[in-house]
Amino acid sequence: MAHQARAEARPAIDMPAAVAAMAGYYAARAAEYERVYAKPERQADLGVLQAWLPGVLAGRRVLEVAAGTGWWTVHGARDAAFWLATDLNPETLAVARAKPQMPCKVRFATADAYTLAELGPQRFDAAFVGFWWSHVPRARLAAWLDVLFARLETGAPVVLIDNRYVEGSSTRIAEVDAAGDHWQHRRLEDGSPHRVLKNHPTPTEVEAVLGARVSGCEWVEPLAYYWAVVARAA
C-alpha cells in the first residue's frame, strides 16, 4: 500500500512501554477525543453504523472493551439489556459517565483490555470493541482475543469497528517496525508529540486472526472510512 511504501523501517517495539504510552496518550487526549467523529467526510459512514449497531446488540449483555469517551456506548447500548463499558483510563470514562444521553443500563469499570482481570468472573453474551484492534500490536492480537473470547458465551455477537486507511483523511503512517506494526506521529492540542501504533488490517487479515474463535463473520458493506464486522463466538 502507498502509505506503507513511504514509511521508515524501525526495530520492533518495547511492548510494555508501548502499552503504557498508548494509555497515556488517550488519557491526555480525553477532552479533545471526539473531534475525530466530526470529520465531515466520515458522516455518511458514521450514520450507517449508528443506525445499524443497536439492532445487532439488542437484548444482549454486552462487554465493551476500550470504551473511551463512550461515543459508541450511547448508540450501541440503546436496546441492549445490560452494558459494561470498560477502559484502562479513568479520564476517558469520566467523559463517558458525564454524558446526559448515556442510557442508565450502562455501567463503567476501569479494566486493562489485555487481562480484563478487574472484571472478576463476569461473563457476557455479546461484545463491542471500537477502534481498539488497530492499536493492538500484531504480536499481541491473539492473546488479547483469547482474553476477550474467554468472557463470552458461545454464539455471542462480537462487533468490531475500526478505521480503514484513507489517503487525505487518515494520519499518514510514518514508520513500520520490524514486527510489521505501523506508527503514526500525532500532536495534541497542547502541541505535545505522540508516536501512536495504528494498524489497518484488511478483512482477510482480521478473519485470519480471529480464526477458530469464531463460527462466522458478517461484514457491513460498503463503508469508505471504516471496517465493521459481527463475528460469532464459536
**Contacts with ligand SAM, residue ranges (CB under 6 A):** 19, 22-23, 26, 66-68, 71-72, 87-89, 92, 112-114, 130-132, 135
Nearer residue to ligand SAM within complex by CB, 95 or 234: 95
Q: Return the number of the residue (57 or 66) whose C-beta is nearest ligand SAM.
A: 66
Q: φ, ψ for residue 85 (rounded to 5)? A: -95, 120
Nearer to ligand SAM, 116 or 174 (CB): 116
Nearest-approach distance from CB 123 to ligand SAM, in angstroms: 18
When the beta carbons of 26 and 225 are compared against ligand SAM, the nearer one is 26
Nearer to ligand SAM, 66 or 158 (CB): 66
CB atoms within 10 A of CB 12: 14
Shortest distance (Å) from residue 182 CB to ligand SAM: 14
- Taking alpha carbons only, the member of 36, 202, 53 closest to residue 134 is 202
Integer Cα distance of 186 and 60 in angstroms: 36
Using alpha carbons, select from 201, 136, 114 the residue that is nearest to residue 163: 201
CB of 6 to ligand SAM, least distance (A): 23
The least distance separating ligand SAM from the CB of residue 14, rounded to whole angstroms, comes to 15
Question: Would you say 178 and 11 are in contact if contact means Cβ atoms under 8 Å apart?
Answer: yes
Q: Which is nearer to ligand SAM, 83 or 132 (CB)?
A: 132
| CB of residue 103 to ligand SAM, shortest distance in Å | 16
In Å, how far are 19, 164, 183, 228, 230 from 25, measured between CA atoms? Answer: 10, 21, 13, 24, 28
CB of 87 to ligand SAM, least distance (A): 5
A 10 A CB-CB count for 199 gives 21
In this structure, the number of other CB atoms found within 10 A of the CB of residue 203 comes to: 13
